[in-house]
Structure 1
């Protein structure tokens, strides 16, 4: 997502320069945390935050990234094309894209429904009047959608999110799930609005819903974070029933994502946990099914953008998200 609309938080200020001892200690902490995260993601540990103008609620200190054991078998899929229907096209790395899979009648996720929400739309840039129209998100009114962000080289968030969504759909369908996308290559030229994105998951009675994004913060800010719904009961929004299962879903996705991709938890939001709780997002506030957002990385950081523009890395991202969903659904 970009920082030019209701979907984004402003980058947090850089911390002042520290003395040598503090710097040395600070250098050790992320490595230790990341090692612990990976340990938790593979089952070594015990049980175990769209609109960004407002500051997010701090992530609970007890919500460090962890995960229950992921599905036992590694999933594979052919790379898909960016932002278009993935029938026999080529991705950015020249990989051949396969047609979408069909649910495996005997797969472990047979009967489960997953809604995948690729953030934004390539046409939003040409439809500013439509996407700026306020919609009700329960707590207040926010813009229908935003344009999203892009890398400095022009690779847009909307293309990134749809490509990962196609890969994720293939992986989940191989496990037997029924997968619905909120937008696809043949979608309307803008939107859907954030309230409609939530409604799609609700109408499908999804067992899990995941909104895929990439951030648009400052250079040097990097890493992923998963946004969890906070408890909201106002107007049309009532998340009280989904806060618990959404937290479980988010923790499992975060743990598997870091294990599959090697991408560290965000160094600028979430206090190193990779988890952030929010109560100002229409896509979460209006959901009646377990749902989380994942910001896969920062498109404006050169290290992260090199990963986000790689088809091979996007496959790993889809793999990590898929394994988190599979883990959640097999336990639910």
Structure 2
């Protein structure tokens, strides 16, 4: 047996260690990129159903690692849900577009859209609604639900409230959930509430929408969120002035997740952990409703 010199042995050891190492790609997804697996891509609705108003493709934060614990009802798979993230990032810079009057149901007209509110620290409602909506969308798609978003990013303008309602109607959605946060300056005002059209203008706005509102209310309460102290009753708020609800022919609700002007709630609404908690509760409530 030939004995290799000590220096040669050292070189062999280095080569062996290099052969065992890879160059793994980074596993962190950029916050500006949404990754969709091939198994879930089939559940993303056709672009023709999404009111884009010339917007660019979606740019969203990656889904967090936590997930909804309960399994979905078997009847949820394949159903269509419309998620409506309130407001939009470009609204403030396009006042002429968002202030134009559009039909709002019950013979009313209202501005196309609004800028939304913000926390005292400057975290905006449109950022909150987009982030939570993306989390809900991804969780529902993972459970086999077909999801339509009323807007495709958080940098565009609108859509108008009547166009948002039309997305749900054209999609023949089993449920339409509009996600918002409130901006009351009343002292001590806090808590969530779920609005639905009342008195109903069609069958879908009757028992189906009232049931969806109650299921969402119960889900948010079960997750530990307090009901509103300043609007509605026991977390429910029947409304006749919200165009997106008035014009819907599908079961539809609007959830104000909390008051961004309340310091304690603003801290939850502004945190990733808080937004995930809202998204989990909303997702599970939608799945329960579909079942």
Structures share fold, TM-score greater than 0.5: yes
Query: Does the CA contact (< 8 Å) of 1:135 and 1:143 recur in 2?
Result: yes
Of residues 293, 297, 300 in structure 1, which corresponds to 2:254? 293
Per-residue deviation, residues 241-292 of structure 1 (Å, max 9, x unmatched): 32210110110111111212x2200011123x00000011110000000000
The answer to whether structure 1 residue 216 and structure 2 residue 164 are counterparts is no
What is the distance in 1 between the residues matched to 2:261 and 2:176?
26
* 1:147 alignment counterpart: 115
User: Is the partner of 2:288 in helix, strand or coil?
Assistant: helix
Q: TM-score under structure 2 normalisation?
A: 0.75
Structure with greater Cα Rg: 2
What is the distance in 2 between the residues matched to 1:202 and 1:277?
20
The answer to whether structure 1 residue 112 and structure 2 residue 79 are counterparts is yes
The answer to whether structure 1 residue 127 and structure 2 residue 127 are counterparts is no
User: Please, which runs of 5 or more residues in structure 1 have no aligned partner?
Assistant: 1-77, 99-103, 233-237
The answer to whether structure 1 residue 138 and structure 2 residue 138 are counterparts is no
User: Please, which runs of 5 or more residues in structure 2 have no aligned partner?
Assistant: 1-27, 37-58, 66-70
What is the distance in 1 between the residues matched to 2:162 and 2:30?
28
What is the distance in 1 between the residues matched to 2:167 and 2:60?
29
Distance 1:250 1:287, change over 3 A: same
What is the distance in 1 between the residues matched to 2:199 and 2:124?
32
What is the distance in 2 between the residues matched to 1:312 and 1:90?
16
Size of the alignment, in residue pairs?
Answer: 235
What is the distance in 1 between the residues matched to 2:204 and 2:134?
29
What is the distance in 2 between the residues matched to 1:266 and 1:87?
35
Q: C-alpha root-mean-square deviation of aligned residues, in Å?
A: 2.7
User: Is the partner of 2:238 in helix, strand or coil?
Assistant: strand
Greater mean alpha carbon deviation, residues 288-297 or residues 316-325: 316-325
Query: Does the CA contact (< 8 Å) of 2:60 and 2:134 recur in 1?
Result: no
Higher helix share: 2
Query: Does the CA contact (< 8 Å) of 1:209 and 1:292 recur in 2?
Result: yes
* 1:171 alignment counterpart: 139
Query: Does the CA contact (< 8 Å) of 1:80 and 1:90 recur in 2?
Result: no
Per-residue deviation, residues 42-95 of structure 1 (Å, max 9, x unmatched): xxxxxxxxxxxxxxxxxxxxxxxxxxxxxxxxxxxx9995xx65349996xxx8
Of residues 157, 166, 186 in structure 2, which corresponds to 1:199? 166
Of residues 194, 200, 214 in structure 2, which corresponds to 1:251? 214
Alpha-carbon shift at residue 138 of structure 1 (Å): 2.1
What is the distance in 1 between the residues matched to 2:152 and 2:123?
18
What is the distance in 2 between the residues matched to 1:79 and 1:116?
23
* 2:8 alignment counterpart: none
What is the distance in 2 between the residues matched to 1:136 and 1:242?
18
